[in-house]
Amino acid sequence: MMSKPTVLFVCIHNAGRSQMAAGYLRRLAGNRVEVLSAGSSPADAVNPVAVQAMAEEGIDITGEQPKVLTTDAVKTSDVVITMGCGDTCPFYPGKRYEDWVLDDPAGQGIEAVRPIRDEIRRRIETLLDEILPNQAEGVPAS
């Protein structure tokens, strides 16, 4: 049996993009994927507009707290998805890395954050098809 893949989402503040991506992956993958998120310079709290945008999708990220990126988080992950953190993310051979170029929701209103959220969802759906290729249809998400 294949072990459960671990996906780490990294952005600078771990307050917007990475939190929305983690929220979507948790919702869409259920217990089939281990989900982590972190930031190279974490904020004090999750962006309230990101929380609002995800609430519109029925996903509650209010209990999340920005976390500092650790070497261990990268080492234990199978897939590392960066979102604007540049060279601050450690690199380990054998890991799958993707850099998702997305606008930063910091300081933006809800109208600007919704398209970012929707693009994150599209990318999460594609990622799931790639890391769980034979489980996309008909498998409950929890």
Positions annotated as catalytic residues are 11, 85, 89
SS3 11: strand
Closest among 101, 80, 102, 104 to 90, alpha carbons compared: 80
Helix 110-131 with 17-29: angle, nearest 10 deg? 50
- What is the rounded CA–CA span in Å between residue 104 and residue 98? 17
